[in-house]
Structure 1
Amino acid sequence: MSLWQHGRRRWHGRHFRQGEFAPLFGPPPADEWVALDFETTSLDPKRAEIVAIGAVRIEGNRLLTGEALSLKVQAPASLNGQSVAIHGLRHQDLQEGLPLEEALCQLLAFIGPRELVGYHIAYDLRILNLACHQRWGLHLPQRGIEVSRLYHDKIYRRHPDAVIDLHLAAICEHLALPPLPAHDALADAAAAGLIFLRLTRGGPLTYPKV
């Protein structure tokens, strides 16, 4: 971890050096990350409310799917037909969901000090930080690793004239990764984790010319 990253963690954790949130601000373990995805009621972070959480730990070159976190959250008032059409989670599907605060506490304990990986991870981090700030005044130190950016940059370095499709399904297909259900928090987190491992642990990529 760089001095800048260490300073960022100390700054964000200055009010949480004791108590349940202190582990979030320690040094991240070597070769460990967490792939994260939310399903929400809106694409607007200021209006979005979380309905499902998926997270998978990555250690070295392994995606630890056997230790994944998959949580449903109690249906918020903003859950409507438009968002249900995307993620498929109806009010009745969330009857046994956790209160959001409890779900967030489980997620933060699962993440710990690890860096976060995801597809559109900036959105998920914004959602997470808004929810944590509203409840505890907490802001996480992680900046997030965007797998579509890793993919784009790796292709572009070798094939600068390629027209690069950055849709999640297209990336997975090109990397010969197994197809997973779309708009499912745990499946999307696992897909992001697999992409991350393929790009950081695999060899050079070819790309069809257009």
Structure 2
Amino acid sequence: MRRLVRRLYAQARLSDPAYRFLFDEPPHGEVVAIDCETTGLDPHVDEIIAIAAIRIRDDRILTSERFQAIARTSRKSSPEAIKVHQLLDRDIEQGRPIGELVPELLRFIGPRPVVGYYTAFDKSMISKYTKAYLGIPLPNEAIDISGMYYDLRYGHDWGHLTIDLSFRKIAHDLEIPMLPQHDAFNDALMTAMMYLQLRDMARRGVRIAA
């Protein structure tokens, strides 16, 4: 109910009616896996420098239906962030203005739920721009693979002293091949593979063994 109220409120505050499609019913069986690389970890001040999104339809990952771009930013990456995403300032300078990318990204995502690893962060980064351009945060439903993994690995066993929800641990337990990490497309692709496997296990009632 609270989510419905938030959506209705966002729909009423949408400043550009051309984006009402964000509130349509999503195509049946479709979600979008997303990943953002950023200049840092604070959505209030940091910026997106690379983003990738891949559509998933039923049980298929549609790598031919993808969005992938590097964004030109006004804020330089922190040294710690550069170690993670490996994008230098000169690489980012060749990117496109974020004001061009966000409308394309929104049209690609449409009303589909977005799937990610700690999706709240990616969604908050995208929402930073949708608030500026449309007056609202990204309204799409968010699905988090770390939460899905937690439910299947730890959710019914409170005896664990340590809980590991790292991307690498999830990939290892699901036997997902590790592509070079912190590349937006690779991370979105691995996220898509994790999502399909976790969803299938949940449907069949299969738990992840300790």
Summarize deviations over 1:9-55 as a string: whole Å, max 9, x none: 33322244974311111112221101111100111111110100011
Paired amino acid for 2:86: G
Q: Does 1:124 align with 2:122?
A: yes
> Partners of 1:149 and 1:206 in 2: how far apart?
13
3-state SS of paired residue (1:65):
strand
Aligned match of 1:176: 175
* Cα drift, residue 173 of structure 1: 1.1
Summarize deviations over 1:135-164 as a string: whole Å, max 9, x none: 331322224111001001012246553554
Summarize deviations over 1:103-145 as a string: whole Å, max 9, x none: 1111101100001110010011111111111233132222411
> Partners of 2:52 and 2:133 in 1: how far apart?
21
Mapping 1:17-36, distance limit 5 Å: 19-36=17-34
- RMSD of aligned residue pairs (Cα, Å): 2.1
Aligned match of 2:192: 193
TM-score between both structures, scaled by the size of structure 1: 0.88
> Partners of 1:205 and 1:34 in 2: how far apart?
25
Unpaired runs of at least 5, structure 2: none
Structure 1 residues 96 and 20, CA gap change in structure 2 (3 angstroms):
farther
Paired amino acid for 2:197: R
3-state SS of paired residue (2:53):
strand
Aligned identity (percent) is 33
> Partners of 1:95 and 1:18 in 2: how far apart?
29
Structure 1 residues 45 and 186, CA gap change in structure 2 (3 angstroms):
same
> Partners of 1:83 and 1:157 in 2: how far apart?
32
Aligned match of 1:205: 207
Corresponding residue pairs, total: 206
Unpaired runs of at least 5, structure 1: none
Aligned match of 1:167: 166
Summarize deviations over 1:49-94 as a string: whole Å, max 9, x none: 0100011111101111121211001143333433212111112212
> Partners of 1:206 and 1:86 in 2: how far apart?
29
TM-score between both structures, scaled by the size of structure 2: 0.88
Aligned match of 1:140: 138
Contact 2:15 2:134 in 1 (8 A): no
> Partners of 2:208 and 2:80 in 1: how far apart?
38
Paired amino acid for 2:174: L
